[in-house]
Amino acid sequence: MEKFEGYTYIEGGVCAAQGFVANGLNCGINPDRNKNDLGMIYSEDACNAAAVYTLNKVKGAPILVTQEHLKKTGGVAKAVIVNSKNANTCNANGVWVAEQTCALAAKELGIAAEEVIVASTGVIGQPMSIEPFANGMQALVKGLSEKGNVEAATAIMTTDTVKKEVAVEFVIEGKICRLGGMAKGSGMIHPNMATTLNFITTDAAVSTEMLQKALSEVVKVTYNCLSIDGDTSTNDMVSVMANSKAGNTMIKENGEDYEIFKQALYIVMANMTKMLAADGEGASKLLECTCSGAKDVETAIAVAKSVIGSSLLKCAMFGEDANWGRILCAIGYADADFDIMKVNVDIASKAGNVPVCRNGAGVEFSEEFAAKVLKEDEIYLKIDLQEGSSQAKAWGCDLTYDYVKINGDYRS
């Protein structure tokens, strides 16, 4: 993980921040009893909360319920309840099931149902029963622990091959603050807010309005710059809860404290974005595209995302083929204004750097050395537009035979 001055990586995921507990277990939604399918995060102290959601017109019932809950409470929450294996999307009784799930969680926790954020992930269009939630809720709440982050993180995994957690410690006004998160996602991921399920907790004191501002700004340059396969899920959500236990003065406006907090949020979300990209369905390589020399950030984002979203480029990276023309092609159809005749492109990895294009035209390079560079499992595509000082990154993975195998029989 990249180091940032003033920020220290710590263990604990969503339980790293003071006052948060979590748990996960199998309640019967997933027939494999060895896999957790129900998770919870809880703070006894009320949290200011913010969230961003998928832009897909088809939205999972949990998103609709969560949006209504945060609207009713004015952006206050105490718990997250989330399941995997079934997305609870396109079900006639989906909203009822999501609401009842919140009610069950609230009853066990002794809080209001509106203080619960609910989320689901898994197969779309499968019938959803409240029975597994009813059977598992008591044990789930009873097992809540300051060390329950791993159980919760594994409860949201679908085709993920590894759990995804990051947490950092930092200082605001002399007060030690912590921020941590967990994420899931491997396929059906494409830029359009928010890509996958992501839950973030912090003990820093931040108002709901500033939480939402920070989240929306950071999502733009992290999760929205991630593409696995070109599909935007129906259940994508990122939520942040802040319980103020660190004791800093409430952050209510722009300023140094806000920037310190926002940077912590960026570090956690950027790292989880890279984890999601590296664990793309069937992936063998993490791809990171940096577009620099842009006249503004929007142009840099558009170019980097265009390259990362190219299926042909993804295939070339899987085949370890330095087919840089596919990079230029993807740059060329980016929705941005720039001079293609100024563009420089390099392909790099820990094995070295290969300049492949200068001023919009190819340059000679060693195919043998390029093949060596592309054998690594992390590939860096570097684009310089030579028109300004702005830059942005986007992340993705290669497109492999296994992606088709996984999605050919996903429901099973």
Q: Is residue 3 part of a domain?
A: no
Q: How many domains does the chain have?
A: 2
247 and 294 in a single domain? The answer is: no
Q: What's the number of CA atoms in the CB half-sphere (13 Å) around residue 23?
A: 16
Show which of 245, 278, 311 is a domain's final residue. Answer: 278
pLDDT the model gives residue 191: 45
Strands (E), 278-367: 286-294, 344-349, 352-358, 361-362
pLDDT the model gives residue 194: 40
274 and 301 in a single domain? The answer is: no
CATH number, domain with residue 80:
3.60.70.12
171 and 310 in a single domain? The answer is: no
112 and 21 in a single domain? The answer is: yes
CATH number, domain with residue 343:
3.10.20.340
Which positions of the chain have pLDDT values less than 70? 186-195, 227-233, 278-282, 403-412
Dist. CA 147–CA 128, nearest whole Å = 30
pLDDT the model gives residue 95: 95
Show which of 243, 278, 313 is a domain's final residue. Answer: 278
From the list 101, 154, 159, 195, the catalytic residue is 195
Q: Is residue 241 part of a domain?
A: yes
Show which of 261, 278, 295 is a domain's final residue. Answer: 278
174 and 320 in a single domain? The answer is: no
Nearest in space to 24 (alpha carbons), one of 13, 35, 11, 12: 35
Q: Is residue 2 part of a domain?
A: no
pLDDT the model gives residue 205: 98
Active site residue 195: yes
Q: What's the number of CA atoms in the CB half-sphere (13 Å) around residue 31?
A: 2
234 and 318 in a single domain? The answer is: no
Q: Is residue 166 part of a domain?
A: yes
- From the centroid of its chain, how far is CA 294? 25
64 and 209 in a single domain? The answer is: yes
Q: Is residue 372 part of a domain?
A: yes
Q: Is residue 348 part of a domain?
A: yes
Residue-wise DSSP of 27-82:
-SSSS-TTS--EEEEEEEEEEEEEEEE---SS--HHHHHHHHHHHHHTSEEEEEEE
pLDDT the model gives residue 408: 65
47 and 143 in a single domain? The answer is: yes
Q: Which structural domain range is residue 126 located in?
A: 8-278
335 and 362 in a single domain? The answer is: yes
Dist. CA 116–CA 70, nearest whole Å = 9
184 and 253 in a single domain? The answer is: yes
228 and 323 in a single domain? The answer is: no
327 and 253 in a single domain? The answer is: no
Q: Is residue 107 part of a domain?
A: yes
